[in-house]
């Protein structure tokens, strides 16, 4: 099991922000912005590059979860960034698809 699967199964504690039928959102343990939340699918999908057409409803649920999270954490109006890493060069560190939601400060571009 990946770390995120263990968090979804409540085997590892996390500071949970919100939860839906297909996803769980929690604060990142190493935040890169005042708001840094991870949204993970409850179904283990290793990475976005390995999602299948059958995962379409889960992918849509993740994107809609972003709206819920940013409104709840009061960064909807000020702005936020959504990031999905894929593979080592993309910055992926846990082989379980996850969406980073960052906000609460001006975010520079390019990100680095």
Per-residue pLDDT at 112 exceeds 80: no
- Which residues constitute the domain of residue 47? 3-103
For the chain, the domain total comes to 1
The answer as to whether 109 is a domain residue is: no
Share of the chain above pLDDT 90, in %: 96
6-20: pLDDT as tens digits: 999 999 999 999 999
Cα(88)–Cα(80) distance, integer angstroms: 24
The answer as to whether 92 is a domain residue is: yes
Smallest Cα–Cα separation from 47: which of 98, 89, 100? 98
Cα(52)–Cα(17) distance, integer angstroms: 27
Q: Which of 27, 57, 96, 98 is catalytic?
A: 98
Pair 83, 100: CB distance under 8 Å: yes
The answer as to whether 110 is a domain residue is: no
Cis omega (within 30 of 0) for bond into 56: no
Q: Please state the rounded mean pLDDT for residues 47-73.
A: 97
Q: Please state the rounded mean pLDDT for residues 15-28.
A: 98
pLDDT at 100 (0 to 100): 98
Whether 98 is a known active-site residue: answer yes
Q: Please state the rounded mean pLDDT for residues 41-56.
A: 97
CATH code of the domain covering residue 53: 3.30.428.10
* Burial degree of 99 (CB within 10 A; 0-12, 13-18, 19+): buried
The answer as to whether 112 is a domain residue is: no
pTM listed for this prediction: 0.95
pLDDT at 110 (0 to 100): 86
Pair 84, 98: CB distance under 8 Å: yes
């Amino acid at each position: 099991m990946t770390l995120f699967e263990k968090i979804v199964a409540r085997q590892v504690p996390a500071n949970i922000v919100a939860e839906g039928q297909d996803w769980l959102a929690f604060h990142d343990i190493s935040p890169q912005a005042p708001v840094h939340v991870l949204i993970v699918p409850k179904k283990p999908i290793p990475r976005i590059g390995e999602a299948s057409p059958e995962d379409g409803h889960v992918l849509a649920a993740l994107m809609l979860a972003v709206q819920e999270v940013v409104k709840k954490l009061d960064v909807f109006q000020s702005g936020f960034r959504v990031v999905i890493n894929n593979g080592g060069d993309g910055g992926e560190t846990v082989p379980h698809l996850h969406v980073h939601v960052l906000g609460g400060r001006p975010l520079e571009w390019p990100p680095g």
